[in-house]
Structure 1
Amino acid sequence: MESKKQGVSRRDFMKTTGIATGTLIGGGIIGGLVGYNVNKTPGKKETTVDKHQGQNHELNVGLQFFKTTASFNVLSQATERILPEDELGPGAIGLGVPYFIDNQLAGAYGMNAKEYMQGPFEDGAVTQGYQSRLTRAEIFEQGIAKLEEEAQSRYQKGFVELEPAQMDEILTAFQKGEVPMMAVSSLFFFKLLRQATLEGAYCDPIYNGNKNMEGWKMKGFPGHQYSYTKEIENKKFVKYDPQSISSMTHS
């Protein structure tokens, strides 16, 4: 989708979310491409990408968490609406974000292995951490099912069959907290989805996201370099070809 047809370009998105300065916003929804304050015109829909990612190594990108490709495809289209392809580079699907999220949900992230998960469960303040009785895996399962349910209820179509503007309408309803969910708000799910999308776009490719380090290339991030010693005294900007952890271990 061309950014000229969108209310907010990827460049504006990076500025408002802090990505341009190398940070990710935690907590509230700030400047997301999907938002009820953004006007958009429908554009082309993206389809799920190939099953080979990374560089200089093979990665296991088979589905580890999702039991059906139908649920995985709903996730894929939702992430693509949050970070769509434009003239600056690939979107979430092209960067392998859906595979990153699938793999994360199958591990400690999805099980909340590092969070305290005992009651009481109350609505926490913005300064507090994870408050839901549900694990992230359970929230994603419910949230994706709700995305499909909303699509069928509003348009009598599956989520992946909708036009981009229709997908945005549903995701915006989640962002506003308007979609009923059990033991968690739809806003909470949207925040998890958006954060996971960003993490998948800019992670090391060894985690099955940031395919071919395209996310890093768009930001000019060098990745993992052995040393910057030769260029420390250089007064000019030096551009490095990014390296992932895997490419370093295989060199």
Structure 2
Amino acid sequence: MSNKDNKDISRRDFLKTTGIATGTLIGGGLIGGLIGYNTNKTAVPTKPSNIGPHNTTNKTAETSEGKMFFTTDKDFNIVATATERIFPKDDLGPGAIDLGVPYFIDRQLAGQYGSNSKEYMQGPFSVGLPTQGYQTRLTRADIFRQGIEKLDTEAQKRYNKSFTDISDKERDVILTAFQKDEVKMQGVTASFFFNLLRSATLEGAYSDPLYGGNRNMEGWKMKGFPGHQMSYINVIEKPGFQKIEPRSLGMH
């Protein structure tokens, strides 16, 4: 395979070769694989300006859709830009921003997910193995706040610009540094934050639109997932693969 072929790998190719499209990849095994796959494709403008449900041209802050957790446009835009690099727009379909993933994350952080209110959060807080799950006194909301700040700090340190103002390639360098645990964070590792961000991005892309992401069920449409059907009785005996228009919980 030539260097050009390597550079032109699309998310469609990645999904096919990793087993995601067939449902064989489970347990959070997507280790940053989407980062950089569309580096030479235009996915996010260098300076995003607004994320809105009616304008799907990768924008950021000004929108009629309200935010529940993020109190500044800057923080929201950093998260939006980072999610778009993890799940970029390509020939297969929309990316994280167009799917409303930043709003999904905003709503999750404003609720029990962000406060860890249904989880045991008492000490001791020893440094655990990666297989031991949550091992920090910080809530997910705390981790995201610190992670967002660190993303911007790294951009300023490396490129003298905000994370939202650097190029896609430079964003990938920083996100990869987080994934490899090369950035120092307090009370939690950078790789743990990256894993939270990556997981939240994928959940927002593929969860029921009822929760704020997967706008217009485009994430499901890309995978041919039917969503929440009341019944399959009309197609269960038909031969071959049946393409079914997806349905959200909010449609029942």
TM over 0.5: yes
1:57 maps to what in 2?
none
1:63 to 57, 67, 74: 67
Taking structure 1 as reference, are residues 97 and 188 closer, same or farther at Cα in structure 2, changes over 3 Å only?
same
Counterparts of residues 1-251 of structure 1 (less than 5 Å): 6=7, 8-15=9-16, 18-22=19-23, 25-26=26-27, 30=31, 32-34=33-35, 40-41=39-40, 43-46=42-45, 47=48, 48-51=50-53, 61-248=65-252
Cα pair distance change 1:28/1:240, threshold 3 Å: closer
Deviations 1:60-115 (A, max 9, x none): 94110001011000000000000000001000001000000000000000011222
1:11 is displaced (CA, Å) by: 2.2
Query: C-alpha separation between the residues in 2 aligned to 1:213 and 1:69?
Result: 26
Is the 1:100–1:200 Cα contact (8 Å) retained in structure 2? yes
Could you tell me how far apart the structure 2 residues matched to 1:133 and 1:23 are? 33
Q: Secondary structure at the match of 1:21?
A: coil
Tell me the TM-score normalised to structure 1 length. Answer: 0.86
Q: Deviations over 1:110-156 (max 9, x none)?
A: 01122211111122233322111100000000000000111111111
Letter in 2 for 1:158: S
Which has the bigger relative contact order, CA under 8 A and spacing at least 6? 1
**Counterpart of 2:59?**
none
Contact 1:16 1:30 in 2 (8 A): no
Determine the C-alpha separation between the residues in 2 that align with 1:72 and 1:179.
21
Provide, for residues 191-220 of structure 1, a one-character-per-residue CA deviation record: whole Å limited to 9, x for no partner: 000000000000000101000000000000
Offset of residue 17 of structure 1: 5.3
Letter in 2 for 1:185: T
Distance 2:130 2:214 in 1: 29
Task: Name the SS of the counterpart of 1:13 in structure 2.
Answer: helix
Percent identical:
61
State the SS of the aligned residue for 1:94: coil
Report if aligned partners of 1:121, 1:132 keep a CA contact under 8 Å in 2: yes
Contact 2:152 2:162 in 1 (8 A): yes
Mapped partners of 1:193, 1:112: distance in 2: 16
Count of matched residue pairs: 238
For 1:170 and 1:33, locate their aligned partners in 2 and report how far apart those are by CA, in whole Å: 14
Moved more, 204-213 or 24-33: 24-33
What do residues 205-246 of structure 1 show as CA deviations (whole Å, max 9, x unaligned)?
A: 010100000000000000011100121111122111101011
- Match for 2:145: what amino acid? E
**More displaced stretch, 25-34 vs 232-241:** 25-34
Could you list the runs of 5+ residues in structure 1 that have no partner in the other structure?
Answer: 54-59
Please give the TM-score of this superposition, normalised by the length of structure 2.
0.86
Give, in whole Å, the separation in 1 of the partners of 2:94 and 2:38: 21
Gap regions ≥5 residues in structure 2: 56-63
The root-mean-square deviation of aligned C-alpha atoms, in Å, is: 2.5
